[in-house]
Structure 1
Amino acid sequence: MPLRIFEPRYKQLVDDCMLGDGQFGVCLADQGNTVDGWEAPHMVGTVAKITKCTDASPDGMQLQLETIGRNPFCITRMIPPSIARPPDYDPHSIQGHHAVSRINEEAGSGKMYLQAEVEMLQEIDGSVSLIQWENLVELWKRKIIAGAPQPVEPHALDHVLEQYYLLTETPTTDYVYSLAALGASSPQELQPILESKTLEELVQNVEVLLE
């Protein structure tokens, strides 16, 4: 899962992760809800581990991360960030970065990113049948073809699956999650899939996503 990091609070998070075990929690934003002015997260997320971190801009203001997903979790208690979102928050300029850093220093140099106590969730048990997998792949292909601005050859879609290591006759739930990510139009569409508790619920939610 690639991530582009440019906000000062998340750059602080990455710095802390690189000094530790490289793991952090990822939650989609719960639009409409806030914590001290910052977007609040959904209560269910997943642990991600940084596998690669590089500068994505000459000025060092942006980082490019490569991550892999780990175990799902549920937030049990949120720990607010050290500062509230400034009214004139500007994460895209050097001046904006300096302003946020100055505000945080004046507040005691705490953690600018949201933290939480979490409960790890049990991973989904069960085996994905080849019939279930082939049906999901077929739904994904139909969705891509229907939404493409120009004709798409079937072998081109097989090449995409090959690039993402999704050509298999022994599918697992990890394959199902990855296919869903390829078929999602926005990250928010993946939240019901992340919250699935059983294999049957997972497959059904992915079918809804791809139809």
Structure 2
Amino acid sequence: MATLPMFPLGSVLIPGMPLTLRIFEPRYRALFADVMAGDAEFGVVLIERGTEVGGGDQRFSRGTVAHVRGYRELESSIMVVATGGRRIDIERWLDDDPYPRAEVREIAPLTWSDDLVDVHRRAERCVRRLLATASEYVDVPWSVDEQLSDDPIMSAWQLAGIAPIQTLDRYALLGSTSLPELLERLQGFCAEADELIRLTAGPLEIDDD
């Protein structure tokens, strides 16, 4: 197990996806200073109850390691750009003083095999179709023509990151134990979201960034 500084958020960080943070609380300024004095990595975990500001939140037990790619110091905050990497399970939360920390264990990475080509393509078509449908009702942060990684495992995760699905569905995908499971569940969540749009014939509420 390793001990990581942790940043609880109201969204799920998927491997391979970008993360932009505005850091202004003293505890997270201290976290960021220690992160940049080390390996530029910290953990991100979804908040179960509570808010991102002020502490006292309850957190889910699975997250993602974020690697800092760049930052800018402003007058009253720090803008940070990071990328999601390895998945982690939280084994034990430590004292939040001076900032949230946890003992974590890495989750085994997913593996690829050539017999997954068809299910990967179906998942991609499903995600892009849902993006097109959702964009008719709400502003979505990702384009229907969004470019994906040439690496099939990374592109599968990116599909999970850009799909306009609910936050808890995305969190469920983060716990996938195999690539077929990730791709099949992703298609299921996309189908449910698409059905919701068509049943309501109105805006789809997307509670992610």
Q: Same fold (TM over 0.5)?
A: yes
- Gaps spanning 5+ residues in structure 1: where? 83-110, 151-155
Counterpart of 1:135, as a letter, is R
> TM-score normalised to the size of structure 2?
0.70
Residue correspondence of structure 1 range 84-95 to structure 2 within 5 A: none
**Root-mean-square deviation (Å):** 2.6
Q: 1:136 aligns with which of 106, 110, 123?
A: 123
8 Å contact 1:2–1:64 — kept in the other structure? Answer: no
Separation in structure 2 between the aligned mates of residue 208 and residue 132 of structure 1, nearest angstrom: 12
Separation in structure 2 between the aligned mates of residue 10 and residue 185 of structure 1, nearest angstrom: 29
8 Å contact 2:112–2:179 — kept in the other structure? Answer: yes
Which aligned segments of 4 or more residues in structure 1 are displaced greater than 3 angstroms?
A: 184-189
User: Identity of aligned pairs, percent?
Assistant: 22
Shift in CA distance, 133/77, structure 1 to aligned 2, threshold 3 Å: same
8 Å contact 2:165–2:190 — kept in the other structure? Answer: no
Query: Aligned-pair distance for 1:41?
Result: 2.0
Shift in CA distance, 32/205, structure 1 to aligned 2, threshold 3 Å: farther
8 Å contact 2:119–2:180 — kept in the other structure? Answer: no
Q: 1:126 aligns with which of 112, 125, 144?
A: 112
Higher relative contact order, chain-length normalized (CA < 8 Å, sep 6+) = 2
Shift in CA distance, 22/65, structure 1 to aligned 2, threshold 3 Å: same
Name the SS for the 2:96 alignment partner: coil
- Gaps spanning 5+ residues in structure 2: where? 1-17, 138-142, 192-209
Aligned to 2:200: none
> Is 1:192 aligned to 2:172, yes or no?
yes
Aligned residues: 166
The structure in which a higher percent of residues are helix is: 1
Query: Aligned-pair distance for 1:187?
Result: 4.0
Separation in structure 1 between the aligned mates of residue 165 and residue 187 of structure 2, nearest angstrom: 14
Separation in structure 1 between the aligned mates of residue 149 and residue 111 of structure 2, nearest angstrom: 22
